[in-house]
Amino acid sequence: MNCEEFELRGLDLDRLDADPLEAAAAAEHAEDCARCDALLNSWRKVRSDLRLLREATRLDAAPARVEMRLKQELRTRREARIPRSMLAVAGWAMAAAAVLVASFGWVRTHHKDVAPGMVAANSRQTASVPGTSSTPQDDQILLAADNDNGEFTQLPGSLPEQSGDQAILQVRLQRGALGRFGFPVDAERAAEWVNVDFLVDEDGQPQAVRLHQDAQKAAVVQ
Amino acid sequence: MKILDEKQDVLLKRAVRGDEQAFLALYQKHQAALYRYALRMTGSPWAAEEVVQEVFLVLIREPEKYQVARGELGAFLYGVARNRVMKHLERLPRESSLDVTTADGSVWHEPADPLTPMMIAEKRERIDQVREAVLSLPAEFREAVVLCELEEMSYEEAANSCGCPIGTIRSRLHRGRALLLAKLELLRDTPRRASAGRK
């Protein structure tokens, strides 16, 4: 090791992590070179001064108030986090509830629609029946599954059906249209609009008819 | 198993979830060294206190900034402290605080030492001179001296803390040592010359 190298690495001689080979070379050089030996001694004095400072400040630590402030910050953040998580849970719960309600509603609607679905199919077939579909009142067709608030009157030419595969088709039409089914109609009231239920067979042919109760009061149907 | 024995990253995960004990374990492990580092770099107890607080606030607020794969938590905390210290040094001209008050503002007490009052006074004066000499170094050289000589870190640890190669740390330390030698030799000689003049 020469003087230049000693200046760069020789002062690491006393360090714990010093390379043993380099440290030995530096010590050897210092023994031979008075200048480098003086440098080493000066540095050792400085190191002892630094050790003095290190020892004097060995127990220095952040004051307790720092810890208090940090604990407070931690608690504040933890408390802030709880409502946020609860909000998230509540959000998910509401979403789940909405899905449940929607599913329930769909199931109910679907269940109700089973019979009317058949009626709807029948009604399309009924549309071809003269006197019911050819009139503009077809637009007013309403479907009902359980409107049985009165007795049905068998249509002329039809036979009573016992199979039970029948549907009720609710229609709003002018009273005069009932004449096409063979019912006598008062000419003066032929233009009145009435709600009528047709009992439709599975082949789509109307079998019987009845007027709604409010209309029955004034019915002329015999 | 004591809480302090747990791995740092495990403690950190717990702390992030709001576990106060885990957080305090981390704090107790690192705060003193960070405080001393900041104090030696800034010379200001107030600034050192701020630095320590900010370092741990980063850990609370932005724990994702620490990645286990990139090194030890201690090195990460030193890195954050270093940034804060450098910002502080950039903001203010060097604060060459020579007061011997503690961070609490109370008067610093000499540890119990079987020395005469005269020796104690000389020792305290010497400590002040060293403190001033260290604080007078340019920040980069000061940092190398503080980490490698006062905190007794290895070159590798110091390099990790500073985020620079080992060669850079060695080079800075070399320059810092040279400046420190010159300053302290000068201070050491001054009383001698004065007393020689009196003879």
Question: Strand A153-154 relative to strand A142-143: parallel, antiparallel, unpaired?
Answer: unpaired
Amino acid at A214: D
Instruction: Give first-to-last CA distance, chain A, whole Å.
Output: 133
Radius of gyration of chain A, Cα coordinates, nearest whole angstrom = 51
In the three-class reduction of DSSP (H, G, I as helix; E, B as strand; rest coil), residue B144 is classed as helix
Domain boundaries, chain B: 1-96, 100-199
Tell me how far CA of residue A93 lies from CA of A79, A106, B194, in angstroms. Answer: 21, 20, 84
Question: Pairing state of beta strands A193-200 and A167-174?
Answer: antiparallel
For residues A37 and A9, the answer to whether their CB atoms sit within 8 Å is no
pLDDT class for B98, splitting at 50, 70, 90? very low
> CA separation (Å) from A90 to A79, A83, A93?
17, 10, 5
Q: What tokens does B183 get? A: 């300053």
Q: What is the pLDDT of residues B37-81, one digit of tens each?
A: 999 898 889 999 999 999 999 988 888 888 877 788 888 899 899
What per-residue confidence (pLDDT) applies to B34? Answer: 93
Contact residues, chain B, for A55 at CB < 8 Å: 111
- Count CB neighbours of A171 within 10 A: 24
Q: Per CATH, is B1-96 categorized as 1.10.1740.10?
A: yes
| Per-residue pLDDT at B55 | 93
What pLDDT sits at residue B51? Answer: 93
Q: Could you say which DSSP state residue B179 is in?
A: H
* Res. B173 pLDDT band, cuts 50 70 90: very high
- Angstrom distances, CA of residue B86 to CA of A53, B53, B55, B94, B184: 22, 15, 13, 11, 25
Tokens representing residue B33 in the block: 């060294």
Let me know: does B45 contact B101? Beta carbons within 8 Å.
Answer: yes
As a whole number of angstroms, the distance between CA A176 and CA A193 comes to 9
Domains of chain A, by residue range, sit at: 3-56, 125-216
C-alpha to C-alpha distances, B159 to A5, A6, B65, B92, B148, nearest whole angstrom:
21, 22, 19, 25, 10
Counts of helices then strands in chain A (DSSP H, E): 5, 5
- The larger pLDDT score, comparing residue A35 to residue B187, is at A35
For residue A125, the model assigns a pLDDT of 43
Model pLDDT, residue A113: 55
Do the Cβ atoms of A60 and B32 come within 8 Å?
yes
Tell whether the torsion through CA atoms of B11, B164, B179 and A26 is positive or negative: positive
pLDDT of residue B50: 93
Interface of B with A in 117-156 (CB under 8 A): 123, 126-127, 129-131, 134, 145, 149-150, 152, 154-156
Overall fold of domain B100-199: Arc Repressor Mutant, subunit A (1.10.10)
**Residue in A50, A67, A81 closest to B130 by CB:** A50
The Cα A57–Cα A39 span in angstroms is 27
At B52 the pLDDT is 94
Is B194's pLDDT higher than 60?
Answer: no
Q: Is A151 left (phi over 0), alpha (psi -120 to 50) or beta?
A: beta
Decide: B136 and B42 in contact? Cβ < 8 Å: no
Residue B189 CA to residue A27 CA, distance in Å, equals: 26
Give the closest-approach CA distance of A113 to chain B in angstroms.
Answer: 52
Measured distance CA(B145)–CA(A154) in Å, rounded? 113
Question: Parallel, antiparallel, or unpaired: how do β-strands A167-174 and A142-143 relate?
Answer: antiparallel
Closest CA to B187 of B149, B146, B136, B148: B136
Which residue in the block uniquely carries the two structure tokens 């679907």? A110
The closest of A68, A26, A15, A178 to B104, measured between CA atoms, is A68
Mean pLDDT of chain B: 80
3 state SS of A127: coil
Q: Are A62 and B177 an interchain contact pair (Cβ–Cβ within 8 Å)?
A: no
Please state the pTM of the whole predicted model. 0.56
At B19 the pLDDT is 84
Contacts of A26 in chain B (CB under 8 A): none
In angstroms, rounded to a whole number, what is the distance separating the alpha carbons of residues A212 and A210?
7
| B chain contacts of residue A74, beta-carbon cutoff 8 Å | 15, 18, 20, 23, 60
What is the per-residue pLDDT for B119? 78
Q: Is the pLDDT of residue B184 over 70?
A: yes
- pLDDT band at B144; cut points 50, 70, 90: very high
Residues A192, A172: contact at Cβ < 8 Å?
no
Q: Quick check: A159 contacting B, CB < 8 Å?
A: no
From first to last of its 222 residues, what are the pLDDT tens digits of chain A? 888 888 888 888 788 878 888 888 888 888 888 888 888 888 888 888 888 888 888 888 888 999 999 988 888 887 776 666 677 777 888 888 888 888 888 887 766 555 444 444 444 444 444 444 444 444 333 333 333 456 778 777 676 666 567 788 888 888 888 777 777 777 888 888 888 888 888 777 788 888 775 555 544 444
**Banded model confidence at residue B27, pLDDT cuts 50, 70, 90:** very high
